[in-house]
Amino acid sequence: MKKVLILATGWSNDYWEVDKEAPYPKTKYTDLREWDSLSKNCPLAGIGRYIKQKGNDFSPYPFIYLKITGMRFDLNTLQPYFEFKAIAKSRTESRKLEQNLPSDKRKLFSAIKFQNLIKILGNIGEEPPEEWEKLIKAEKEIIGWKDYIGKYFLQITDMTLSNDEFEDRVAALFNALGFKVNQKGHKLPGEYPDGIASFDGDYAIVYDCKNTDNFIFTSQDRRAIKKYLEDEKKIRNENNIYCAFIARSFKAEGKKNIFYLPINSLLYLLYKKLILGAEFALSPLKKILDDFIPFDDKTIDKEWRK
């Protein structure tokens, strides 16, 4: 799906009219989910809009059609930079565009589907310049990270799988990531965790699958996972054993040393393994477990990068 970058600033009322590289202090490139795919497909069509910021209100000024010629980030701070050239000034105030943008596209920088933006521009009486539209036509079809992953694993995010199928595919996913997996759950009679995923000889995760969205554990769930953890500690050799719930999504972060492992984040880690190849290792997970760091896409981008 072809996308357009929307950049915002309150620094000056002609900021987007002068070709330059725009830095975004105190932000991280990982705030833009599509960074990897977009940065590899420059030049891109962009929009530079003006906002109210730091006591300045430049939102009445027209937004600018841009050509995004490059994207990079600082390796230490992860601060993003967008290099751009101005194409043309619109006839519409930036604030009017903002009022018509979805709420999640009103950030300092975001990406929006081209078709959706064209509808918005039409609704506010804008006709994009031909040079800007040519960027869209010339743009390669953007390959998202999920396009690297096969249907078998992507189906884990659907609600079509039975609980047993969900458990089986989670076990397969851990195996594909390089864990040594001991699947239990529906495979064994009695009360057991759904599986144990171990790595690097001395680390293991005792996990319980929840085939649902917006999961939050109950006191019964907590007692069960804690019992599974204690039982496994009695029979396993690893010195570092943790427990986790796995679900499609969660209502909150894990707590009291119980990790939440969202399916999308596990799939995203699989994508990282595919693009990093021989450079990929599970060792960064040790720090995540030891320091109880949330396991999400931002953490993955920080710990698994070239």
pLDDT value at residue 147: 84
Q: Domain check: are 21 and 79 in the same one?
A: yes
The string of pLDDT tens digits covering residues 250-260 is 887 667 789 99
Tokens 């931002």 appear where?
A: 298
pLDDT value at residue 261: 95
pLDDT of residue 133 exceeding 70: yes
Nearest to 67 by CA among 141, 4, 114, 113: 4
Query: Domain total for the chain?
Result: 2
Q: Domain check: are 216 and 121 in the same one?
A: no
Q: Domain check: are 170 and 192 in the same one?
A: yes
pLDDT value at residue 200: 95
Q: Domain check: are 214 and 98 in the same one?
A: no
Q: Domain check: are 187 and 112 in the same one?
A: no
pLDDT of residue 140 exceeding 70: no
Number of helices followed by number of strands (H, E) in the chain:
10, 13
Q: What is the CATH number of the domain that holds 80?
A: 3.10.590.10
Confidence of residue 197 (pLDDT cuts 50, 70, 90): very high
Q: How far apart are CA 112 and CA 209, in angstroms?
A: 33
Report the percent of the chain where pLDDT is more than 90. 78
Nearest to 80 by CA among 112, 111, 50: 111
CA 117, 272, 292, 28 dihedral sign is negative
The two tokens of residue 78 are 């992860």
Q: Domain check: are 155 and 103 in the same one?
A: no
Q: Look at strands 56-57 and 80-93 and give their pairing.
A: unpaired
pLDDT of residue 248 exceeding 80: yes
Report the percent of the chain where pLDDT is more than 70. 97
Q: Domain check: are 152 and 268 in the same one?
A: yes
What is the pLDDT averaged over residues 4-28? 95
Q: What is the CATH number of the domain that holds 206?
A: 3.40.91.50
The string of pLDDT tens digits covering residues 39-59 is 888 899 999 999 998 889 999
The two tokens of residue 87 are 């194409």
pLDDT value at residue 2: 84
pTM exceeds cut of 0.75: no
Sheet with 20-23, edge to edge strand ranges: 20-23, 80-93, 62-73, 44-50, 3-9, 109-113
pLDDT of residue 91 exceeding 90: yes
Residue that terminates a domain, selected from 88, 117, 143: 143
pLDDT value at residue 142: 59
The string of pLDDT tens digits covering residues 178-187 is 999 999 999 9
Average pLDDT of the chain is 93
Burial class (CB in 10 A: 0-12, 13-18, 19+), 148: middle
Residue 176, phi then psi, degrees to nearest 5: -65, -30
Confidence of residue 141 (pLDDT cuts 50, 70, 90): low
Residue 35 near residue 86 (C-beta atoms within 8 A): no
Question: What is the residue range of 247's domain?
Answer: 148-303
pLDDT value at residue 139: 58
Angle at which helices 263-276 and 163-177 pack, to 10 degrees?
A: 30
pLDDT of residue 244 exceeding 90: yes
Confidence of residue 151 (pLDDT cuts 50, 70, 90): very high
